[in-house]
């Protein structure tokens, strides 16, 4: 069948009231055939107007028609790429609403844990990696290690100063917990920083001690800053730094689409991070879309230049701010909890890292500048502080359809739910944590976990919550996150917060459309809808019908961004 006849039949079907959905604007720019058609698929569109389909067409990086295989097949022309899905499942590209999308540590760092999968290691293995790195560096030069997970070590205990001193006593050593808020240091590091057993805790931070008052090596939150300006670092020329950053960005982009992630909301602290992504985009090596969440010098420049949320294009865009922290880590057990942590004496309540007036002033500044505020808040105490700041700023400058973001928004209660709904805030709770970090949830107990990562409560209260893996603290696998949301069962077989479970369809929407909503992009992506950006993932099995405890094992067959195949198994 020729292109002309195909177009005639296409018009005829519309006139006859066919179930085929089309996008007039996306198609109308050209009378030519689609660039791609996908046929014989199980398509879950995440579009309530047409929830399922068998096929769709793509033109100029957009979906232009969605319908049956019969409907779509006739649209293909001589130059159309035809993909026979063979019954495979197709869903919209996954959108990670909170991720630290930086490949530098994975490519160049000392990895003492697996960034992407569950893997159990030993303290001796960690010491060996640190010792090997120290041998390559001059004395007093930092040995930095990352992706340590204290509950993924077979020894059944945490690291100590004594462990790290076995690796080196002439190099300062820092082993960062993958949660990002706590780290372990050796004796040399404490010595260079001038910290002793008697050093008082700084505001918003803590040095941990054993029963005898001796430093254990564990340091939390803002106390880590006391190590930042001591010791030596490996040095690189500006050109080397930029090339390393570019190579890391390209590597990580490929890793994202390998797992089906086509959009991320990720922080940019300095201009280097933005420059390399722009270069990757220009050179065609960027495989995913980025909503910049800025802080530091980049945020300051935005405010000074009058750049507001939404500035950019479909690939690289200024989004909300980077997460502005007001409390600690959920995986690191420093989240600020009103009731405190069970079985702690004296009762431990976690760490609030910022006073209310400081938070208020920060939100007021960015909101007045037209930049969407984003606050990191895990515990209910911290979420309350975030909402107080949002409510105050909105009263000062009312804004229609405001979507301030609460990154993590982990432990909630009924009052917080009411206020989140009223202000229009978008929570971005953990997803993969439910599966990956279930070995830590006993620190919180059933009562707290029943109100944690509360996707069921958010849905039932009409709150649009997006999926945030928080990688590096948790793996960014969207299928791991989906399984965790649906089953609430961890890798260790334990179930926490079963009352917060969602259906596969709900979890899929959280992981796709809701992420687009968080960045005010729900009109252009997040579902397989005519006129929207052609980002989609082909799966070997259907998560709606497979055993829910096997969702994580579903193979990604193909990832497509902007109508271009960026990953194929």
Quote the CA–CA distance of 286 and 254 in Å, as a whole number: 8
The whole-number pLDDT of residue 21 equals 81
Structure-block tokens of residue 491: 């890798």
Radius of gyration of the chain (CA): 25
Burial class for 569, CB neighbours closer than 10 Å (0-12, 13-18, 19+): exposed
pLDDT at 280 over 80: yes
Cα 70 from chain centroid? 38
Quote the CA–CA distance of 394 and 402 in Å, as a whole number: 9
pLDDT at 359 over 50: yes
The whole-number pLDDT of residue 27 equals 53
pLDDT tens digits for range 399-423: 999 999 999 999 999 999 999 999 9
Sign of CA dihedral 230, 232, 237, 242: negative
Phi and psi angles of residue 305, each rounded to the nearest 5 degrees, phi first? -90, -5
pLDDT tens digits for range 314-335: 999 999 999 999 999 998 899 9
Q: What angle do CA 372, 376, 377 make, to 5 degrees?
A: 120
The residue-averaged pLDDT of 154-182 equals 96
The residue-averaged pLDDT of 111-120 equals 95
* 3-state SS class at 175: strand
The whole-number pLDDT of residue 268 equals 77
pLDDT at 18 over 80: no
**382: nearest Cα among 176, 224, 204:** 204
The whole-number pLDDT of residue 31 equals 55
Mean pLDDT of the chain: 94
pLDDT tens digits for range 385-399: 999 999 999 999 999
Outline where DSSP puts E strands in 528-569. 536-539, 556-561, 564-568
The residue-averaged pLDDT of 367-385 equals 98
pLDDT at 246 over 50: yes
Quote the CA–CA distance of 419 and 428 in Å, as a whole number: 16
Sign of CA dihedral 518, 519, 523, 529: negative
Helices (H), 379-498: 380-396, 414-423, 433-436, 445-449, 455-460, 478-487
Structure-block tokens of residue 401: 């359809």
| pLDDT band, very low/low/confident/very high, at 180 (cuts 50, 70, 90) | confident
What percentage of the chain reaches a pLDDT higher than 90? 91
Outline where DSSP puts E strands in 40-198. 42-44, 52-53, 55-59, 62-67, 81-84, 89-92, 94-99, 110-111, 143-148, 173-177, 182-185
pLDDT tens digits for range 427-473: 999 999 999 999 999 999 999 999 999 999 999 999 999 999 999 88
pLDDT tens digits for range 19-57: 678 875 455 444 589 999 999 999 999 999 999 999 999
Across 261-275, 418-432, 483-497, least confident range: 261-275
Outline where DSSP puts E strands in 116-209. 143-148, 173-177, 182-185, 205-209
For residues 8 and 371, which has the higher predicted lDDT (pLDDT)? 371
C-alpha atoms less than 13 angstroms from C-alpha of 546 in its C-beta half-sphere: 21
pLDDT tens digits for range 1-13: 333 333 333 333 3
pLDDT tens digits for range 284-318: 999 999 999 999 999 999 999 999 999 999 999 99
pLDDT at 102 over 70: yes
Contact 448, 499 (CB under 8 A): no
Quote the CA–CA distance of 165 and 172 in Å, as a whole number: 9
pTM above 0.75, yes or no: yes
pLDDT at 509 over 50: yes
Contact 214, 196 (CB under 8 A): no
The residue-averaged pLDDT of 355-376 equals 98
| pLDDT band, very low/low/confident/very high, at 16 (cuts 50, 70, 90) | very low
Count of C-beta atoms within a 10 Å radius of residue 154: 10
| pLDDT band, very low/low/confident/very high, at 275 (cuts 50, 70, 90) | very high
Structure-block tokens of residue 200: 């008082």
């Amino acid at each position: 069948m020729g292109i002309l006849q195909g177009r005639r039949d296409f018009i005829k079907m519309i006139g006859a009231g066919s179930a085929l959905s089309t996008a007039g604007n996306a198609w109308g720019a050209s009378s030519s055939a689609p660039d791609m058609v996908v046929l014989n698929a199980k398509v879950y569109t995440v579009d309530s107007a047409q929830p399922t389909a068998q096929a769709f067409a793509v033109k100029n990086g957009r979906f232009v028609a969605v319908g049956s295989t019969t409907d779509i097949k006739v649209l293909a022309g001589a130059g159309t790429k035809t993909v026979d899905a063979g019954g495979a499942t197709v869903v919209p590209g996954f959108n990670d609403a909170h991720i630290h999308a930086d490949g530098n540590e994975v490519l160049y760092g000392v990895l003492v844990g697996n960034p992407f999968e569950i893997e159990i290691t030993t303290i001796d293995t960690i010491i060996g990696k640190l010792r090997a790195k120290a041998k390559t560096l001059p004395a007093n030069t930092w040995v930095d290690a990352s992706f340590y997970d204290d509950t993924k070590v077979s020894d059944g205990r945490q690291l100590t100063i004594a462990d790290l001193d076995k690796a080196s006593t002439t190099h300062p050593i820092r082993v960062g917990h993958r949660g990002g808020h706590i780290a372990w240091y050796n004796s040399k590091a404490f010595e260079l920083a001038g910290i002793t057993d008697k050093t008082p805790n700084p505001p918003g931070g803590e040095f941990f001690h054993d029963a005898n008052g001796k430093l254990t090596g564990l340091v939390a939150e803002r106390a880590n800053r006391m190590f930042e300006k001591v010791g030596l670092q490996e040095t690189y020329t500006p050109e080397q730094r930029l090339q390393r950053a570019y190579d890391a960005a390209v590597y990580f982009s490929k890793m994202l689409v390998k797992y089906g992630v086509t959009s991320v909301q990720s922080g940019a602290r300095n201009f280097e991070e933005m420059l390399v992504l722009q270069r990757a985009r220009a050179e065609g090596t960027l495989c995913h879309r980025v909503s910049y969440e800025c802080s530091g010098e980049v945020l300051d420049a935005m405010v000074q230049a009058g750049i507001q949320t939404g500035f950019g294009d479909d690939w690289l865009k200024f989004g909300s701010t980077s997460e502005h922290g007001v409390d600690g880590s959920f995986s690191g057990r420093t989240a600020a909890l009103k009731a405190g942590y069970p079985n702690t004496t004296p009762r431990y309540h976690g760490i609030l890292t910022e006073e209310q007036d400081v938070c208020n002033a920060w939100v007021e500044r960015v909101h007045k500048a037209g930049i969407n505020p984003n606050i990191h808040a895990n515990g209910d105490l911290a979420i309350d502080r975030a909402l107080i700041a949002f409510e105050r700023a909105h009263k000062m400058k009312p804004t229609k359809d405001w979507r301030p973001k609460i990154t993590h928004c982990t432990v909630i209660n009924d009052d917080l739910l009411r206020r989140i709904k009223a202000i229009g805030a978008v929570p971005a709770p953990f997803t993969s944590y439910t599966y990956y970090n279930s070995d830590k949830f006993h620190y919180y107990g059933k009562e707290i976990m029943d109100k944690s990562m509360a996707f069921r409560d958010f849905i039932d209260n009409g709150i649009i919550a997006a999926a945030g893996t928080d990688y590096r603290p948790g793996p960014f696998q969207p299928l791991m996150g989906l399984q965790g949301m649906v089953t609430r069962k961890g890798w260790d077989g334990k179930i926490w917060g079963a009352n917060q479970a969602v259906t596969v369809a709900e979890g899929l929407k959280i992981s796709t459309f809701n992420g687009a909503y968080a960045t005010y992009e729900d009109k252009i992506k997040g579902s397989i809808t005519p006129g929207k950006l052609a980002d989609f993932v082909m799966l070997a099995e259907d998560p709606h019908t497979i055993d829910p405890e096997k969702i994580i094992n579903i193979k990604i067959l193909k990832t497509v961004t902007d109508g271009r195949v960026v990953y194929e198994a």
